[in-house]
Structure 1
Amino acid sequence: MLKIKRKKINKVLFLFFPQFLININILANSNFAGVTPPPVTNEHIISERAEIENKKYQALEAFSKALNLLESSYVDPSVVNPDVLIEKALKGMTSDLDPHTTYLSQKQYSDFSTDTSGKFGGIGVVVNPAGGKLEVIEVIDNSPAERAGIRAGDFITNVNDIVVNTKNIEEALSKMRGAVGTDLTLEFYTPDKSSKTIITKRVTLEREVIRSNSVVMYQLGTGYIYTKLTIFQEDASEQLSKSIKEFEVKNHGKVKGLILDLRNNPGGLLDQAVRVTNLFIDSGIIVSTIGRDQNKPEDVEYAVKRNSLSYFPMIVLVNEGTASASEIVAGALQDRERAIIMGTQTFGKGSVQNIVPLPNGGALKLTIARYYTPKGRSIQAKGITPDIPLISQSILGKVQQVQSESNIGRARREADLDKHIEAKDQNTIALQNKKEERDTDHWPLSLRDDYQVKSAYMYLKSMGKFTFAMESNGK
C-alpha cells in the first residue's frame, strides 16, 4: 500500500518540477518589444532557484524512501505505523524552531479549538508548557484541580505516570484530557526557594466538564469595579462589555474607576485582545503585526469609536504570568495613556501564531509575525514594564514570614525603645455613619488579602478624587 502511495507522491513531484523548469524557460526565452533583456546575473539566480528546488525534491524522495524501508523492513512492525511515523516527523520538523511553533495532532488540534470556545473536559487548570515544564498559571474556581489543592505557581511533574520533560510534554498535555468521569493522576509541587527539598504531592482527580467564564467581576466600593479576565476566548470582549454595562445600569450610569486584572492571563485569541482594548480606546492604533518583511506591517488594528465604553479612570494589574494577548491589551492601554499599569514585568510573548489545518486532521501552529504596541514597541522577550512596580504577592508573603520569624537586620523603631509611650487611637466612629463599614469588608476573601489589588484600589480612589476636583474647578 505504501509503495503505491510513494509512486503517487513521486508522480506529483515530477509533474511539479518539470513545470517549474518550463516556466523558467518561458521567462528566459520570451521576447518583449522595447524591453531590455535582463542582465546575465538573472540566469544565475534562476539556476540557484532550480538547484534549491532540486535539493528539496531529493530530500522529499529520501524521506519517502526511508518511510517505505521502515514500514517494510523494520524488525518490529508494530512500532512503525506510517501515520505515527509521519506525525513524529512533523513534530521533529518544528522542534528546533521557536517554542510556539509546533505540529498539533488531531486530538491536540481538537482540544485547542475547544479551549478557545470556553467549554471543555478536564481538571480545570491553565498551564504554561514553555521550557519543557508544566507551570500552573491559573486554576478555575470550583474545579477538580482547585479541590485537590493545586494552586497557581505549582509545577506538574507527572501525568498518568508520564514524567514531564521537553521530549514528551505534548503527550503529557494530551493525557490531561479525557472522557468526563474518568480519573487522572498527577504529581505536582509548590516551589519554595527557602528550602532545597522539593516535596511532591500525588493526587487522583476525576475529569469534569469545565465551563470557563473568562470574566469575573466584583464591586469594590461605590462606583468602583474589579474585573478579572482569565483568558481571551471567543466571547471574552462580549462578556466584559456586558458586565461593565450591567454595573453602569445598577449604579445609574456612573463608573468611578475600574481595575482590570490580567495577572496570570496566558493570552488567547488576538481578535479578542483587540476588541477588549477597543472597549476603552475609541480611536487610533491598538496593535500592529509585522512578519518577514520588517519594513511592511502585515496588519494594523484600529479602534472603532462605536465599540468603546464611557471614560473612567482605570488600572491594569499585570505580572510574570501576563502573556501574549493580555500583553497586547496592557501595552496598548499604556501607550495610549488610557490606563496605569501596575504589578511586575510581564512574560514577554510578543509573537503571533497561525493555526493551519492539515489533510490528516492535525494542524500546524506556526509563528508568522511579531506584534507591536501603538508606539512601535516590541514585546517579544521583553514584556511590559509597569508604570508602578508592585512587589508580587508570593514574595511579599515570604518577606513578611522572614520578618515575623526574626528581627535580625531590622531597623530600630519607636516601639523598640524602653519605656516608650503606647499608641492610643482616636475614636472617630461618632463622626461617621455607624452603619458604614470599610470597603474591604465586603470584598471576596481572595481579594481581601491581595496586596496588589488593595494598592490598585487605593490608587484608583485617589485618581477619582483628583478627577472630581478637576471637573469641579472647570479644568
Structure 2
Amino acid sequence: MRAPRPDRAGLDFRCGRVPYAPAMTSGRVRRRAVLALAFGAALTTGAATGAWHETAVDAAVPGQRGAETRLRTPLPPGGVPLDGVPLGPDEARELLSVLDDPWAAYYPADAVSGYRRQVDGTYPGVGLTVRQAAGRVTVAYVQPAGPAARAGIVEGDEITAVDGTPAGDLGLAGVVAALRGPVGTPVTLAVGARPVDLVREILTGTDVTAEPVPDTGLLWLRVAGFGRGTADRVRAALARAPEGVLLDLRGNPGGLVDEAAAVASAFLPPGPVVSYDDGTGGRRELDVAGPPGDTDTPVVVLADGGTASAAEVLLAALRDRGRAVVVGSTTYGKGSVQAPTTLGDGGVLNLTIGHWYPPGGHAVDGRGIDPDIAVPAGEAETRGVEVLEGLADE
C-alpha cells in the first residue's frame, strides 16, 4: 500500500526533536522486541546532532524546533504505513526507543493541540535556544521580551543545571526535554552558579524583527524561526526598500520548509530553492513561488553553529544562486526531514523520512555550510555591515 503524499507544509525542517527513551525493564525489553519485529523496516535512519531550540522543548513541542493542521506522513523509507495505527503511548515510546532516529518524537493526544499551535507561530516556552560544545550547554539565542530575556539571561550564558539536575547528566537532549512543560508552570535554571526561576508562557516562535542599521540605509532583518506567517513578515519588512539587507540567521533552528522557501522567494528570481526525499522513494523540488522577489538589493547573511535545518535551506539557496554573501561561522548541518503521522489514539509520531539538498546539490547533513567570510562570533555583526556597505556602494 502506497503511503499518502504529504503536503509539503507538513514537513519539519526543524532542529531539535527530542526522542523519548524510557528505562528498560524485562517486560519492556520483550515489548521492544515485538515492536522491532512489527515495524522492522520502519525503524529508519536519523540525522545529525546539534543546536536545539527550547520550543520543541515546550509544545510537546518546537518548533523544535512544529506541527501541521493536516498531520499526515509519507511512508518511512522501507517501512509500513503508520497513519491510524492503534499505537498507545507506551507502545509509541517503546517504538522510539528502538528507532535509529535521533529526531523522532512522540506527542501524546493531550499535547497535540500545543504541537499544532506551535506551527501557527506560537508555543509554550521560556524563550531561548541552546547548543552544546566541548561538553558545555550554552545559550545560543534569547528571544526578546521572553521569560529568559526578562530574567537577564543572555547569549553565551552556560546552563549548568535544570531543576537541580546537572546539565552534564542530562545532555543536550535532556536539557531541551527538561525545559518542556505547560503554560504557567515553573522551571529553574542554573545559569553558571546563579539560579534563575522562570515561568513558561505562550511565545511567538517565528520572530521576525527588522530595524535600520544606524547611520546607513541598511536593514537588519533577524529571522529566529520559520512558522506560519514568517515569509509575510519578511516581505513586509522588505517593503521599506533598504539599500542592503543584513539577514541574521544566527541561532535559527529551522521550522517549516514551505515558509523557508517562501522567504527565499522574496530574494530570488525563478528557479530552485531546495529538493528533498519525499518519503516514498522519490525526490521533490521546491521552486521560487509567490510575488516577484527583490533580486537586486545586496544581501549578507549572518550564520553560526546554531543556524540549522530550514535556516540552512534558506542560506544555501541564497548562496548557491549567487544572491548573498555569508559571514560568520559554519552552520549546524541538519540535512534531514521529518514528517508527522496521527496514530489511532490521537497522538502524533514524528519520523525522519529523508534528506534535503540545496540548489548546488551538495550534502549538508553532518557537514554544515561554511561561510564565505569566516569571523569570530563577536565580530560577525561589524564585519557583516562592512561587507554589506561595500556591496551597496557597488
TM-score normalised over the length of structure 1: 0.59
- Whether 2:294 is the aligned partner of 1:309: answer yes
Give matches, 1:164-203, under 5 Å.
165=169, 169=173, 173=177, 176-180=180-184, 182-189=185-192, 200-203=193-196
Give 5+ residue unaligned stretches, structure 1.
1-54, 62-81, 190-199, 249-254, 394-450, 467-475
Structure 1 distance, partners of 2:311, 2:319, is 12
Aligned to 1:306, the other structure's residue is in SS state: coil
Largest Rg, 1 or 2: 1
Task: Choose the corresponding residue for 2:352, options 358, 367, 370.
Answer: 367
**What do you get for the CA RMSD once the two structures are aligned?**
3.3
The yes-or-no answer on 1:354 pairing with 2:349 is no
Q: Residues of 2 paired with 1:130 and 1:108: CA distance?
A: 31
Letter in 1 for 2:266: L
Residue pair 1:314, 1:339 contacting (<8 A) in 2 also: yes
In 2: Cα distance, 1:92 partner to 1:217 partner: 42
Gaps of 5+ in 2: 1-32, 40-86
Cα distance, 1:238–1:101 mapped onto 2, change above 3 Å:
same
| Residue among 294, 309, 328 paired with 2:313 | 328
Q: Greater strand percent: which structure?
A: 2
Cα distance, 1:341 vs structure 2: 0.9
Contact 2:252/2:307 (<8 A) preserved: yes
Instruction: Tell whether the 8 Å contact from 1:316 to 1:340 is kept in structure 2 after alignment.
Output: yes
Which residue of structure 1 aligns with residue 203 of structure 2?
Answer: 210
8 Å CA contact 1:285, 1:301 repeated in 2: yes
In structure 2, the CA distance between the partners of 1:130 and 1:92, relative to structure 1 (3 Å rule), is: farther
- 2:372 alignment counterpart: 387
Distance in 2 separating the partners of 1:258 and 1:368: 34
CA contact 1:282–1:304 (8 Å) conserved in 2: no
Partner in structure 2 of residue 284 of structure 1: 271
1:133 Cα offset (Å): 8.2
Distance in 2 between the 1:133 and 1:166 partners?
A: 11
Alignment of 1:51-450 (within 5 A): 59=37, 85-94=90-99, 97-106=100-109, 109-127=112-130, 135-162=138-165, 165=169, 169=173, 173=177, 176-180=180-184, 182-189=185-192, 200-212=193-205, 214-220=207-213, 221-245=215-239, 247-248=240-241, 255-290=242-277, 297-304=282-289, 306-393=291-378
Equivalent of 1:455 in 355, 374, 383: 383
Q: Residue 400 of structure 1 corresponds to which residue in structure 2?
A: none
Q: How far is the alpha carbon of 1:244 from its aligned partner?
A: 1.2
Partner Cα separation in structure 2 for residue 292 and residue 83 of structure 1: 24
Cα deviation 1:231-289 (Å, max 9, x = unaligned): 111111111101111x13xxxxxx32111010111111111111010111121111011
Displacement of 1:186: 2.0
| Secondary structure of residue in 2 paired with 1:355 | strand
Supply the AA of the counterpart residue of 1:152.
Answer: E
Distance in 1 of aligned mates of 2:333 and 2:303: 12
Normalized against structure 2, the TM-score is what?
A: 0.70
- Check whether the contact 2:138–2:159 (CA below 8 A) recurs between aligned residues: yes
- Residue 185 of structure 1 and its aligned partner are, at CA, apart by 1.7
Aligned partner of residue 296 in structure 2, secondary structure: coil
Q: Distance in 2 between matches of 1:131 and 1:368?
A: 30
Q: Which moved more, 1:139-148 or 1:117-126?
A: 117-126
SS at match of 2:306: coil
In 1, the alpha carbon distance for the partners of 2:36 and 2:275 equals: 39
Q: Secondary structure at the match of 1:231?
A: coil
State the Cα distance separating 1:155 from its structure 2 match: 4.5
Q: Which amino acid aligns with 1:313?
A: P
Distance change >3 Å, CA 83–CA 167, structure 1 → 2: farther
Note closer, same or farther for the CA distance 1:297–1:389 as it changes in structure 2 (3 Å cut): farther
Secondary structure, counterpart of 2:190 in structure 1: strand
Report the Cα offset of residue 99 of structure 1.
1.6
CA contact (8 A) 1:227 1:261 kept: yes
CA offsets per residue over residues 32-56 of structure 1, 9 Å max, x none?
A: xxxxxxxxxxxxxxxxxxxxxxx98
Q: Secondary structure at the match of 1:382?
A: coil
Query: Aligned partner of 1:256: which letter?
Result: E
Determine the C-alpha separation between the residues in 2 that align with 1:309 and 1:138. 28
1:140-182 CA-partner distances (Å, limit 9, x unpaired): 11222112232234444433345555699469626532232x4
State the SS of the aligned residue for 1:268: strand
**Residues 1:167 and 1:108: Cα distance change in structure 2 (over 3 Å):** farther
Q: Is the 8 Å Cα contact of residues 137 and 158 (structure 2) preserved in structure 1?
A: yes
Deviations 1:406-447 (A, max 9, x none): xxxxxxxxxxxxxxxxxxxxxxxxxxxxxxxxxxxxxxxxxx
CA distance in 2, matches of 1:360, 1:170: 26
Q: Is contact 1:281–1:305 with CA below 8 Å preserved after alignment?
A: no
361 and 187 in structure 1: CA distance in 2 versus 1, 3 angstrom threshold:
farther
Q: What residue in structure 2 maps to residue 437 of structure 1?
A: none
Question: Contact 1:160 / 1:175 at 8 angstroms: preserved in 2?
Answer: no
**Does structure 2 conserve the Cα–Cα contact (< 8 Å) formed by 1:319 and 1:343?**
yes
3-state SS, counterpart of residue 317 of structure 2: helix
Distance 1:178 1:312, change over 3 A: same
1:415 corresponds in structure 2 to: none
Select between 255-264 and 305-314 the one with higher mean Cα deviation.
Answer: 305-314
**Native 8 Å contact 2:35 2:94 kept in 1:** no
Alignment coverage as a number of residue pairs? 314
Contact 1:186 1:203 in 2 (8 A): yes
